Amino acid sequence: MDSLLTIYPFLKIGHVIFMVFWLAGLFMLPRQCIYMLDHAPGSEGEAKWAVRMGKLRKIILTPALIIVWVLGLAMAIAGNHFVGAGWLHAKLALVLVMTGFHGWLVAQTKKMARGERPLTEARLRLLGELPGILLILIVALVYLKPF
């Protein structure tokens, strides 16, 4: 526990950096889906976007998600934040929502890579706003600690 407290600032730095990577990926993925909609299923253009989305998921999104969770939980344990920190419980609930959104969006991109079109452009544009809304709420909880 003491060693975690000693490296707490570094855990926080890593947590914030990888949160930015994760959010950047969550902002990019719906946009890439929109670009894929311009290409017919089975076309060369669709295949290129499927590769791009796969790389985004495998190189940025999923590793960042894992690192954010590991570092965030390490900070919560090191700082003993689980007790009497309602703001942290609310934050964790919102991060769980974002994690679920991540998983759902990954499933949709895999369907698109198979030639399916489960989402319209309008819906993708709307879904692209969800990470930003969650980010605002999470950051407000972390800095204001209202309860």
Task: Tell me what the mean pLDDT of segment 136-146 comes to.
Answer: 96
Distance CA 144, CA 20 (A): 20
Question: In the 8-state DSSP scheme, what is residue 60?
Answer: I
pLDDT at 51: 97
For residue 45, pLDDT over 80 is answered with yes
Chain segment 51-92, per-residue pLDDT in tens: 999 999 999 999 999 999 999 999 999 888 888 889 999 999
Task: Tell me what the mean pLDDT of segment 48-53 comes to.
Answer: 97
pLDDT at 114: 95
Distance CA 118, CA 94 (A): 25
pLDDT at 2: 77
Q: Kindly indicate the confidence band of residue 144, based on its pLDDT and cuts at 50, 70 and 90.
A: very high
- Report how far apart, in Å, the C-alpha atoms of 131 and of each of 33, 43, 48, 138 are: 16, 30, 25, 10
What is the chain's length?
147
Q: Kindly indicate the confidence band of residue 143, based on its pLDDT and cuts at 50, 70 and 90.
A: very high
pLDDT at 81: 85
